[in-house]
Homo-oligomer: A and B are copies of this chain.
Amino acid sequence: MEKVKILVVDDEVRMRKLLHDFLAKAGYEVDEAENGNQAIEMFFSTNNYALIILDVMMPQMDGWSVCREIRNFSRIPIIMLTAKSEERDELLGFKLGVDEYITKPFSPKILVARVQAILKRSGKGAEEDILSAGGILIDKIAHIVKIDERIVELSYKEFELLSYFVENEGIALSREKILNNVWNYDYFGDARTIDTHVKKLRSKIGEKGDLIRTIWGMGYKFEV
């Protein structure tokens, strides 16, 4: 099957690479544009993108303008990237038909989840809303984790971490990798912090805690 193509528009190389990386890992084909004009040009010449990710804040032509321009000709899904500090003009976005906002800094996990959700809505690609493995059931919609029919209360990070484990069942994950996926990309703290989270997670999910194996000198693996 052909890969779904996504166009990433941002003036900062780093951010483009970052997005490119994350999306490529999730199985998408990614093109980059470094400014509005280039984006529009690429959009109209290629025109088989399934989705566009657009930074609001760009020199010359900002994200809104690009969005407006594209919206004149297409209903392609658009995700806007906004910095936390930026005024987030929802009204404008709505009028322009923005499908989703993502606030920087974001975690790869969230980014990919949003993209998948939108593409699913528009009939392309699919992603399960309910994960399940080894008697652990994760309902992303209700934001609930159940073990043998009993609800387990998890914090936000714990929930993200557990779902990351379950999504990668049977795969050994380095702390590095976990950090790079579950934490926001601007986190530069200690990788040891994962140990603490794993510990809490293990204790909260009781005997199922054993499913999160320690791989000595390497990281962790969730395995049934």
Residues of B within 8 A of A187 (CB): 90-91
Residues of B within 8 A of A217 (CB): 155-156
**B97 near A21 (CB under 8 angstroms)?**
yes
A142 sits at the interface (CB 8 A): yes
**A13 near B218 (CB under 8 angstroms)?**
no
**B216 near A155 (CB under 8 angstroms)?**
yes
A150 sits at the interface (CB 8 A): no
A90 to B156, CA, bound (A): 22
Write out, one digit per residue, whether chain A residues 68-104 have a CB within 8 A of any chain B CB (1) or not (0): 0001100100000000000011110011110001000
What class of interface size applies to chain A in its complex with B?
35 or more
Shortest Cβ distance from A93 into B: residue: B188
A9 sits at the interface (CB 8 A): no
Residue from B91, B95, B143, B176 within 8 A of A17 (CB atoms): B95
Residues of B within 8 A of A96 (CB): 14, 17
Known interface pairs A13-B72, A18-B97, A97-B18; A141-B91 also in contact (CB < 8 Å): no
Residues of B within 8 A of A15 (CB): 95
Write out, one digit per residue, whether chain A residues 168-198 have a CB within 8 A of any chain B CB (1) or not (0): 0011100010011000011110000000000
- Residue with the greatest number of chain B CB neighbours at <10 A, chosen from A71, A172, A218: A172
- Residues 136-184 of A at the B interface (beta carbon under 8 Å): 141-143, 155-156, 170-172, 176, 179-180
Known interface pairs A94-B185, A188-B91; A142-B221 also in contact (CB < 8 Å): yes
**B18 near A221 (CB under 8 angstroms)?**
no
Residue from B17, B90, B143, B171 within 8 A of A141 (CB atoms): B171
**A90 near B216 (CB under 8 angstroms)?**
no
Known interface pairs A142-B221, A217-B156; A186-B91 also in contact (CB < 8 Å): yes
